[in-house]
A and B are shown apart, each in its own frame.
Chain A
């Protein structure tokens, strides 16, 4: 077995190098929180502790559920054409 095969990859990752060090060690996730017309991308820790806001975007899906299922009407005129 040569020296390269002795390396434990996960240990190597955890050692971190240079500018990547912080990012690699940080255990977080980003959740999307809808807020009115906006979507807030919130960064939280593994224990769901607030870390920070990553991004705020405009929600482009402007239709509410009610708007989505509201039918477009039609002219109800058949009775005027039946003999």
Chain B
């Protein structure tokens, strides 16, 4: 079960909310001395997802990321097409690409990829299961793939932003629960936590000691 059957009377990590605008500063170059101008793009995503650990939600501040449409190309991979939430979990190397792409890999590349074993792909993405509350949208046709409708959505950890709201306060009873749309099940929340941990916990290649 991807979502909790009933939502708790408080905000939790991974909850789907509505009513929170997102902002993105856009600059041509870093502003070091003279302010040469900048843009701030404001968007009001239909839904946002809480990125704060449950016990850190409060103090009139919350970290969010917008719920965005999934890549249409996910549907080119039969393994993912069968269940797009497989993006959230570890998979075998052959499952991470479509069979046609895998078949075209040279033997050495296949071997190299097989040596990785079972691990994550799409490390910065987490797919949210379809739900009747989510609006349908169209996936454009491509190659052999026909046009199709879906209401799978996803989040990208690189889109996280901060929102300040007087209603986000402790104790939790004061939290604006009218904005809460869906809550993840315990298992799904654990999956989200594990994937974020993997994403932020990776050691850069430059920091790995050579033999």
Query: Which residues does chain A contribute within 8 Å of B71, judged by CB atoms?
Result: 81
With A69-B208, A69-B209, A83-B73 already in contact, the answer to whether A74 and B121 are too (CB < 8 A) is yes
The answer to whether B116 and A74 have CB atoms under 8 Å apart is yes
The answer to whether A78 and B116 have CB atoms under 8 Å apart is no
Distance to closest chain B CB from A60 (angstroms)? 23
With A80-B97, A81-B73 already in contact, the answer to whether A73 and B209 are too (CB < 8 A) is no
Q: How far is the CA of A76 from the CA of B71 in the complex (A)?
A: 16
- List which A28-83 residues lie within 8 A (CB) of chain B: 65-66, 69-78, 80-83
With A70-B208, A80-B97 already in contact, the answer to whether A75 and B202 are too (CB < 8 A) is no
| Chain B facing A: main interface SS | mixed
Q: Which residue of A lies closest to B203 (CB)?
A: A71
Q: Which residue of B lies closest to A68 (CB)?
A: B203
Distance to closest chain A CB from B16 (angstroms)? 24
Query: Which residues does chain A contribute within 8 Å of B153, judged by CB atoms?
Result: none
Q: How far is the CA of A36 from the CA of B73 in the complex (A)?
A: 51
Size bracket, chain B contacts? 20 to 34
Q: Which residue of B lies closest to A71 (CB)?
A: B203
Query: Which residues does chain A contribute within 8 Å of B142, judged by CB atoms?
Result: 83
Number of interface residues of A (CB under 8 A): 16
- List which B86-111 residues lie within 8 A (CB) of chain A: 91, 93, 96-98, 101
Query: Which residues does chain A contribute within 8 Å of B198, judged by CB atoms?
Result: 72, 74
Q: How far is the CA of A77 from the CA of B71 in the complex (A)?
A: 13
Contact of B121 (CB < 8 Å), options: A65, A71, A77, A82 = A77
The answer to whether B123 and A82 have CB atoms under 8 Å apart is no
Contact of B119 (CB < 8 Å), options: A70, A73, A80 = A73
- List which B16-37 residues lie within 8 A (CB) of chain A: none
Query: Which residues does chain B contribute within 8 Å of A77, judged by CB atoms?
Result: 96-97, 121-122
The answer to whether B207 and A75 have CB atoms under 8 Å apart is no
The answer to whether A75 and B203 have CB atoms under 8 Å apart is no
B-side residues, CB < 8 A to A, are: 71-74, 76, 91, 93, 96-98, 101, 113, 116, 119-123, 142, 198, 202-205, 207-209
Enumerate 8 A-B pairs (CB-CB under 8 Å) in ascending A order: A71-B205, A73-B116, A74-B198, A75-B97, A75-B113, A80-B73, A80-B97, A81-B76
Q: Which 3 A-B pairs have the closest CB atoms?
A: A75-B121, A75-B96, A71-B203
